[in-house]
Amino acid sequence: MNFELKPMGLAGASTEKCDALIVLVPQEFKAGKDDLSVLVARAIKSSDLDTKPGKLLPLYRPVQANAVRVVLVGIGSGSARDVRTAVVAAVASVKTASLKKLLVCFAAPAREEAVRAVVTAVADATYVYTHTKSKPEGRSLSKVLVAATNATEVQASFDRAAGIVDGAELAKEWANRPANHATPTLLGKAAQELAKLPKISCEVLGPKEVAKLGMGSFMAVAQGSDEPLRFIVLHYNGAAKTQAPTVLVGKGITFDSGGISIKPAPEMDEMKFDMSGAASVLGTFRALAALKPAINVVGLIAACENLINGQAVKPGDVVTSMSGQTIEILNTDAEGRLVLCDALTYAERFKPTAVVDIATLTGACVIALGGVRSGLFSTQDALANALFAAGDAAQDLCWRMPLDEDYAEALKTSFADVANVGGRAGGSITAAKFLQRFAEKFPWAHLDIAGTAWKSGAAKGATGRPVGLLVEFLLGQARNT
């Protein structure tokens, strides 16, 4: 899908030939002298148009515009949240197979965050998964024009949003694919495809290389599956080689049965989404290639399946991680932290400025925060504040959770250095405390996206989160170097 920003107001938008025109009307709308502005003003005055976010007035071939369908929609205060609500509602009202060219026009000067919201909302509202369908009917929309009178002022925000959409859609694609179409091997090939883009390189390690590294914790999870593990190392080189990188670590469990601590059957199909952290790393690198910030970034993905065979790890087994720490595996369904801990140790070699791991880690985080905000854990206030602010800017929200040392008491065991679970109470926090043990040598943050990476029910599918948050964070890091 092609996005374009045009310096245009309502007068210009009225002459643009398109399948649908969406006019974003703020509560403080001031009409101009052109026919479309007069129409909007009359609709408001007669109470046919309410400027509250998402309130619509659909029109068919009005004489005031050169579009087949026109939707006037309120955007309230014009905030990013209000604009997103409006665009999603308006796109739903015009989304048909004939929709190929869409024009979205601000009826007043646009804020930067509002422009970002338009781009990401249109992309989300029109995304279609097709990979495993025999007769795919993909997205019909191919051209989206975004019009604002102050286009020059918001161009940078528009470009950033378009890059984020590229990344988020790649993340959605891989997270949505069923496990037999998104094996660790196929994830490795997807990463290698990214290496064809500017400034990106890739290395994919297999079982022999991982064994030489001593990643005993990662290998323990993978040993229950016939699919070979893959450890993926991506590099985005946008700055001098001497500049220390930021490292992103993605959980890549391409299917999670729970292992011997097997999950209940209902909704187990959704465990294909357990590699959403890995998908977000792939998506972030896709966005970096488009935006080309002056920063170095490393992406690490520990990819394997968590299944059950005669070799599968058992509750009570003790394994040795790459760091040398021993781990008693009390619950084989707490496998994400077992692959992440070895990836965190591997990250030490890059002497990073910061490490952020992203994982669908705990059901406890879903209970705590639902599907609105991702859980944010960090040992560094500055890093946590930067990630939180990036989430706000991208409307990809997170919330900081505690890391008090008292929570680590639950992970004590008589049979190893640490247990992999600490009971139900504070489960997302004890999981983060487990990871913290392997992240002592660099500034570190952990994003638990178990509640935000996908939606269930009628709208089942990947969200592409937290690609927006990660890209905004990395762009902020680039500006500060």
Domain co-membership, 104 together with 201 = no
- Assigned token pair, 417: 């250095």
Q: Is residue 222 part of a domain?
A: yes
Together in a domain, 17 and 79: yes
Residues 66, 180 within the same domain: no
Average pLDDT over residues 193-218: 98
SS3 342: helix
Convert the pLDDT of each residue in 126-142 to its tens digit: 999 999 999 998 899 99
% of the chain with per-residue pLDDT over 70 = 100
Predicted confidence at residue 346, as pLDDT, reads 98
Tell the burial category of 212 from Cβ atoms under 10 Å away from its Cβ (0-12, 13-18, 19+): exposed
In a domain, 157, yes or no: no
Is 166 within the bounds of a domain? no
The CATH number assigned to the domain holding 418 equals: 3.40.630.10
Q: Which residues form the domain of 56? A: 2-149
* DSSP helix, strand, coil percent of the chain (3-state; round to 5): 40, 20, 35
Residue 372 has pLDDT above 80, yes or no: yes
Same domain, 311 and 430: yes
154 domain-assigned? no
At what angle are helices 467-479 and 276-291 packed, to 10 degrees? 40
pLDDT at 82: 97
Residue 359 scores a pLDDT above 80? yes
Active site residues: 263, 337
Whether residue 144 sits in one domain with residue 179: no
161 belongs to a structural domain = no
Give yes or no for residue 259 having a pLDDT over 90: yes
Nearest to 391 by CA among 288, 467, 305: 467
Cα 64 to chain center, whole Å?
40
Task: Check whether residue 85 and residue 211 sit in a common domain.
Answer: no
pLDDT tens sequence across 11-28: 999 999 999 999 999 999
Query: 397-429 as b/e, with b when 16 or more CB fall inside 10 Å?
Result: bbebbebeeebbebbebeebbbbbbbeeebbbb
Whether residue 128 sits in one domain with residue 179: no
pLDDT at 19: 97
One domain for residues 332 and 273? yes
Quote the CA–CA distance of 130 and 146 in Å, as a whole number: 26
d(CA 285, CA 235): 9
In angstroms, the CA 154 to CA 93 distance is: 27
For 396-412, the pLDDT digits (tens) are 999 999 999 999 999 99
Mean pLDDT within 223-238: 98
Residues 252-268, mean pLDDT to the nearest whole number: 97
Domain membership of residue 165 (yes or no) is: no
Q: What is the CATH number of the domain that holds 53?
A: 3.40.220.10
Is 78 within 8 Å of 113 (Cβ atoms)? no
**Residue 105 clears pLDDT 80, i.e. is over it:** yes
pLDDT for residue 85 = 97
What does the radius of gyration of the chain's CA atoms come to, in whole angstroms?
24
Domain boundary residue, one of 149, 182, 201: 149
pLDDT beyond 90 at 480 = no
Contact criterion met (CB below 8 Å) for 401 and 375: yes
Question: What pLDDT does 479 receive?
Answer: 87
Interval 156-161 mean pLDDT: 96
User: Is the same domain home to 145 and 104?
Assistant: yes
Q: Give the pLDDT mean for 412-429.
A: 97
Give the mean pLDDT of 52-76: 97
Task: Tell whether the model's pLDDT for residue 344 goes beyond 90.
Answer: yes
Q: Are residues 219 and 135 both part of a single domain?
A: no
In whole numbers, what is the pLDDT of the chain averaged over residues? 97
Assigned domain for 156 exists: no
Query: Are 71 and 142 contained in the same domain?
Result: yes
pLDDT computed for residue 309 by the predictor: 96
Is the Cβ–Cβ distance between 40 and 23 less than 8 Å? yes
Residue 167 belongs to a domain: no
Residue 481's pLDDT is: 73
Q: pLDDT value at position 274?
A: 98
What is the number of structural domains in the chain?
A: 2
454 pLDDT higher than 80: yes
* Predicted local confidence at residue 1, as pLDDT: 83
pTM of the predicted model, to two decimals?
Answer: 0.97
The answer on 179 and 128 residing in a single domain is: no
Task: Kindly state the DSSP code that residue 76 receives in the 8-state scheme.
Answer: T
